[in-house]
A and B are shown apart, each in its own frame.
Chain A
Amino acid sequence: MIEVKDLVKSYGSLAAVDHVTFSVPKGSILGLLGPNGAGKTTTMRVLTTSLTMTSGKVTLDGYDVAEAPHEVRKRIGYLPEVPPIYPDMDVISYLKFVAEIKEIPSDKKANRIGEVLEMLDLEAMSRRLIGHLSLGFRQRVGLAQALLHDPDVLILDEPTRGLDPKQILEIRKLIKSLRGRKTIILSTHILPEVSSTCDDVVIIDQGRVVAADSVENLSQRLAGGKTLEVEVKGPAAEVEKALEKTEGVTSVKAVGKEARGLCKFEIVTDGSTQAREALFQCVVKNKWVLYQLNPLGLSLEDVFLKLTTKDSAG
């Protein structure tokens, strides 16, 4: 549905977006993740035709963003970083205005506005001036604007910004409810947002894609699925030595301090299941007690930090 190929956007000699490539299949949700200033907003602005690209090719539903921007605009709903609202208009007249510039037929206008107001729980606010609304409601008005013409593609720049935890959950629920019907790209620097709402994730840092995969694959791939966390009740030094000698184990690292006779290790194995069994046998044989044996996947947070701090950490 959305294809981004070798997208470059540079300002003078500075490349804000540097050869970014990714694609979003129809009906799925892509999370664009990256630290502030990574190029998420710039990428989105190119996708929404708000900004022209320096080079590359971006197509949306087969329409080239550079060649047929008008067709692209008809098919997208866009929530920019700052919700594009007019403080001196009330919610209804604002949405009426949006309906008119988004080419919603006049006989469907009122209906559609009603639907969107209901969807975003804005009915009680419909006659209020947008300037008098709280940040959370303004954000919702911004979302209403993006959803109004029922576009196939939604591009949401930090959709949960400025919302309180309850509202965040509601918006995430709303976004998830659109899965399958709409193709969505959302940007965020809040990691749980990606793991809870997105199918795929593209991590951008300094204008470049540092990782692109499905949410599960990415955390698995990076951890290799080979790390175990083991907690044993026994003398730390001896346990460590014994574990190191166990079949299938490549390295053992003590984690934290020994406390109440318990010691914790991070063990890298060859990935086979025998290694786990051998570890268990080893502990039993020595008459220690095994408290925990967990496969350690990296959380998205770890992946993110690992990828985006690689350069500076050397």
Chain B
Amino acid sequence: MNANKIWAIARKDIGHYFASPLGYVVLAVFFLVTGFFFSLIVEQTRSASMIPVFQNTIIVLLFITPMITMRLWSEEEKSGTAELLRTSPLTAWEIILGKYLAVCFFFLVMLGATFVYLLIMMLAGNPDMGPVLANYMGYSLSAMVFFSIGLFASTLSENQIVSAVLTYGALLILWVMGAAASSVQGPLGEVFKYLSLFEHLEDFFKGVVDLSHVFYFASLIFLSLFFSVKVLESKRS
């Protein structure tokens, strides 16, 4: 694996986000919604906590994800540029990691807006930084899981809409898994409970960083990326 080539692909894909209105619209909507929640929550609770903001906007992330991941591979396949990537001295891992890096970078820009809220809180009150960091971590890890699933879905179809719908489906299932867990008894319920994303996210929101939860997120990311790589490799046959 060559970091230069991964970075080249990442830069190209970051460029795509800002070469079309899509990137700016997504950013604007995200800023609007998080800003709305922030002001509403601060107004009502009068407490210097980011938790409600994150809890409420993670659902926004779930809806934004397919928008920013659907084109990652689908578009390459559709426009014929996949042929260039496939016949260049690149490995499937380099391609996938480059693309994953691009969407993570885009998320970083999104996240940048929330630093403003943090700054306001630090100026106005005295937020407890430990839980705030745990919140950021849980929020980012969830986003990274969403993106990896979105990227995987994108490798499955050259139609962006199909990729987006697949991503919505997968993310919603991941999201409602917790509800399913409470209605199913026995070991299956336990499995559902373990798989439920929210189950693992809760502790982060409480300000607790538990390595077993980090492991859960990391495995989901790795699995999605691994499957993406496998799909890419299979395209040659």
Contacts and interface: CB of A to CB of B under 8 A. Distances in A.
B88 interface: yes
A195 interface: no
A102 B12 contact: no
Contact of B8 (A45, A73, A97): A97
Contacts of B89: 70, 73-74, 101-103
B15 interface: yes
A83 B80 contact: yes
A49 interface: yes
Contacts of B80: 80-84
B15 A49 contact: no
Given A49-B236, A100-B8, A86 B87 contact: no
Contacts of A52: 236-237
Interface in A88-105: 88-89, 93, 97-98, 100-103
A183 interface: no
Interface string B1-44: 00011001101100110011000000000000000000000000
Given A50-B236, A52-B236, A101 B15 contact: no
Contacts of B87: 48-50, 73, 76, 78
A83 B84 CA distance: 9
Contact of B15 (A76, A83, A93, A100): A93
Contacts of A48: 87
Contacts of B88: 73, 98, 101-102
Contacts of B128: none
Contacts of B210: none
Given A52-B236, A52-B237, A101-B5, A88 B86 contact: no
Interface of B (DSSP majority class): helix
Contacts, number: 73
B8 A84 contact: no
Contacts of A163: none
Interface string A55-82: 0000000000000001001101010111
Contact of A101 (B79, B83, B85): B85
Nearest to A9: B237
**Contact-residue bracket for chain B:** 20 to 34
A78 B15 contact: no
B140 to A, nearest CB: 28
A142 to B, nearest CB: 9
Interface residues of A, number: 29
A242 interface: no
Nearest to B237: A52
A196 B157 CA distance: 41
Contacts of A174: none
Interface string B45-65: 000000000000000000000
A279 to B, nearest CB: 56
A223 interface: no
Interface in A24-72: 45, 48-52, 70
Given A76-B87, A98-B84, A86 B12 contact: yes
Contacts of A78: 83-84, 87
Contact of A145 (B9, B11, B84): B84
Contacts of A70: 89, 91
B45 to A, nearest CB: 43
A50 B86 contact: yes
Given A49-B236, A50-B87, A83-B80, 19 more contacts: A48-B87, A49-B87, A50-B86, A76-B87, A78-B87, A81-B80, A82-B83, A84-B82, A84-B84, A85-B79, A86-B79, A89-B12, A89-B15, A100-B5, A101-B5, A101-B89, A102-B88, A103-B5, A145-B84
14 contacts: A50-B236, A52-B237, A73-B87, A78-B83, A78-B87, A82-B80, A84-B84, A86-B16, A89-B15, A93-B15, A97-B8, A97-B11, A101-B85, A101-B89
Interface of A: 45, 48-52, 70, 73-74, 76, 78, 80-89, 93, 97-98, 100-103, 145
Q: Which 4 A-B pairs have the closest CB atoms?
A: A84-B84, A100-B8, A88-B19, A82-B80
